[in-house]
Chain A
Amino acid sequence: MLAYVTRRLWQTIPTLLGVVLLVFFLFTWFGGDPAYLLAGKISNPEQIENIRRQLGIDRPAYIQLWIFIQQIVTGDFGESWSTNEKVSAIFATRLGPSLTVLVPLLVIDTLLAIAAAMLVAYVRGSLTDRMVMIGCTIGQSISILVYIIVFQYVLAYQLGWFPVQGWGSGFAENLFRFSLLPIIVGVIVSLAPDTRLYRSFFLDEINQDYVRTARAKGMSETRVMWVHVLRNASIPIITNVMIQLPGLLAGAFLIERFFSIPGVGREVILAVERSDFPVIKAVTIYVAIATMIINLIADLLYRVVDPRVQLK
């Protein structure tokens, strides 16, 4: 087990290096001269030269790359170009609001999707199943933008059930007042594709021999579905949930933007609008690192769920 974890961590180094190189070359070669971005419209060559020296971009590429790697290791990406806030501070303060919205969203969505998928998989081929599937297909085809715009307009603006947007200072206030509508919208948007996906996972299992054996033994349908089928279908479900986890750190871009939630996602959009490269670089690198670690945890979880899985 320990050997496996060590080896896997060792294997992530080339990938991580690749991400660092990708981000570095993307921003260095295609990003244009940041000095011009920073100096603004009114600038003289002296100023630009100054900024270039401060950022270290007058030095050769390999030194810049070294500086970048040092930044990643120490976590010190300097200051944001537009607000002069420390990048590490931005990340630390924006993560909380993102997680406040996204963790309940992911939990509620996953539980609802599993329950709905199991139900329609159980009555597969029936009218209910077909209606739910058609509903999911149509629901999935409507842009997330439309859901947000319409829900915000109808439920918050017209009916006044929720605040239109905003964010408070207390955790409880944020979770139970400001996060409610974003969570509802998020659940509705992700429920349709997840239900469809999980239904196919359940269908793969439901026709297996062990299900017939369990029924033949006289087990109740609840036990067959909730214990035998669910446990076997949980491996692909875990994969799917795990894929979504790194997204928690990157924030929910659109939801945070519409509801003015000061999370990572909104920060990234603002950074893209202002060409605030340090912020984008930092978020990209750290989310990539988190993705790799989460992938490792996912592989370890498979072992817990399915003892047949061999970690090699």
Chain B
Amino acid sequence: MTQAAALAIGVQRAESPGLWTLAWRRFCRDRVGLASFLIVVFFFGLMVASGLHLIAADWSKEVGVNFAPPTFVGPAISDSGPTAPVAAESPGIRPSADPGEIEIVDPLAGVLAEIRAASGAAAAADAQAPTLVFGGDRWGRDVLKKTIKGTETSMFVGLVAALLAAFLATVFGALAGYYGGWIDDFFNWFYSVFTSIPYLLLILAIAAVLNQKGTLTVILILGLTGWTGIFRLVRAEYLKHKVREYIQAADAIGASHARRMFVHILPNVSHVILVQLSLHVVLFIKSEVVLSFLGFGVGVDTVSWGSMLNEAQSELILGYWWQLAAATLAMALLVTGFSLFTDALRDALDPKLK
């Protein structure tokens, strides 16, 4: 019995832990990495729960008064009394060279707000709370729920676009690095074409051409332009791996090109792709926020951190800072968490680097 147990342990010992087991052990030792991992998991859970309508499904309900302050600030002392003059002079502080060019973004917003506020007030005049947990927006919607919804949009866009970019980059990089020759030349040419146009300019040009808003459009724009950085690394890894002994061995036992590329080499370079994927999620979340802010991003009925910041810009002048704070905090927390997680992931997967 004890002998058998000892034997079992012996057998276990003989089996050396694999790359992922080792990486996981290294990762668990990294406290900052583990904490950031929890943040990422938390946001991921938030995204899934919100996507399944488990939380924040009623984010568009006008539950509070217009611009309801956060509960910890307390209700507004006088309703819209002091804000009116500021609102009146706000166009004056924008002495634009060609007037009306910037302010004219949404001429109906004010009217719409009034209509909505009126109808909302008529429907649920008694249900509107004077304060909300993290304040309310122009229509009295709960900023906290809105932020959760925005988290869902921004994170979903970032994740899917990064997956798309990583997929393209892996296929391109594998083909270019593995085959070499004219295929390599072709993909390198493709790469240099894409990288000779500055990133934001390329994104804006494509946004201009597509000329339609929507989550899918943003994902396509970011994914189709963002593969270049990953491509270069994947290609370099394939160049390195294709001459190694294990690939010669795979060749000797008759593995096909596709099998050698994606069954034999891919698992050995997947750590590079994983780190890059994580890095690009952050990059794409930031880009989505900018695109949506400029109005070339998600649709008008979708809320994202970018569209929240867009609303917050004019709200801030009136003194309503909570929507700005909520979107900024959520984004800063996720991006910091994700960046630290990426660093920890890189350290865990590639211990030679540090």
Contacts and interface: CB of A to CB of B under 8 A. Distances in A.
A267 to B, nearest CB: 11
B198 interface: yes
A287 B197 contact: yes
Given A143-B328, A149-B324, A291 B196 contact: yes
Interface residues of A, number: 51
Interface in B319-343: 324, 328, 331-336, 339-340
Interface stretch (A22-30, A47-55, A69-77, A215-223): A22-30
Contacts of A275: 208, 211
Interface stretch (A110-118, A234-242, A245-253, A304-312): A245-253
A287 B97 contact: no
Contacts of B316: 149-150, 153
A15 B209 contact: no
A42 interface: no
A15 B193 contact: yes
Nearest to A270: B101
Given A143-B286, A270-B101, A165 B197 contact: no
B293 A284 contact: no
Interface in A144-165: 144-146, 149-150, 153, 157, 164-165
Contacts of A140: 335, 339
B270 interface: no
B331 A141 contact: yes
Nearest to A166: B95
Contacts of A26: 205-206, 209
Given A137-B336, A277-B208, A15 B197 contact: no
A284 B332 CA distance: 32
Given A153-B316, A269-B294, A287-B198, A137 B339 contact: yes
Contact of A15 (B95, B196, B295): B196
A26 B210 CA distance: 9
Nearest to B101: A270
Contacts of A153: 316-317
A125 interface: no
B204 interface: yes
Interface string A281-308: 0011001100110000000000000000
Interface in B112-167: none
A269 to B, nearest CB: 6
Nearest to A14: B189
A171 to B, nearest CB: 16
B294 A262 contact: no
Contacts of A19: 193, 196-197
B162 to A, nearest CB: 17
A31 B209 contact: yes
A270 B102 CA distance: 9
A247 B196 CA distance: 11
A170 interface: no
A91 interface: no
Contacts of A157: 93, 317
B289 A246 contact: no
Contact of A30 (B94, B101, B195, B210): B210
A240 to B, nearest CB: 14
A26 to B, nearest CB: 5
Contacts of B201: 250, 268, 283-284, 287
Interface residues of B, number: 51
A280 B208 contact: yes
A36 to B, nearest CB: 11
Contacts of A14: 189
A15 to B, nearest CB: 5
A27 B209 contact: yes
B196 A262 contact: no
A271 interface: yes
Contacts of A291: 195-198
A260 interface: yes
Given A26-B209, A31-B209, A153-B317, A145 B309 contact: yes
A78 B324 CA distance: 42
Given A141-B336, A271-B208, A22 B328 contact: no
Contacts of B207: 272
Contacts of A18: 189-190, 192-193
A46 interface: no
A143 B336 CA distance: 11
B316 to A, nearest CB: 5
A254 interface: yes
A157 B94 CA distance: 10
Nearest to B195: A291
A142 interface: yes
A32 interface: yes
A272 B296 CA distance: 9
Q: Which 5 A-B pairs have CB atoms at the shortest separation, nearest pair first?
A: A141-B335, A18-B193, A272-B208, A141-B336, A288-B196
Interface of B: 93-97, 101-102, 189-190, 192-198, 200-202, 204-211, 286, 289-290, 293-296, 305-306, 309, 312-313, 316-317, 324, 328, 331-336, 339-340
Given A19-B196, A164-B94, 14 more contacts: A15-B189, A18-B190, A22-B194, A140-B335, A141-B336, A142-B335, A149-B313, A149-B316, A246-B198, A254-B290, A257-B102, A269-B204, A272-B208, A284-B202
8 contacts: A30-B210, A138-B332, A141-B335, A143-B286, A164-B93, A262-B97, A277-B208, A280-B205
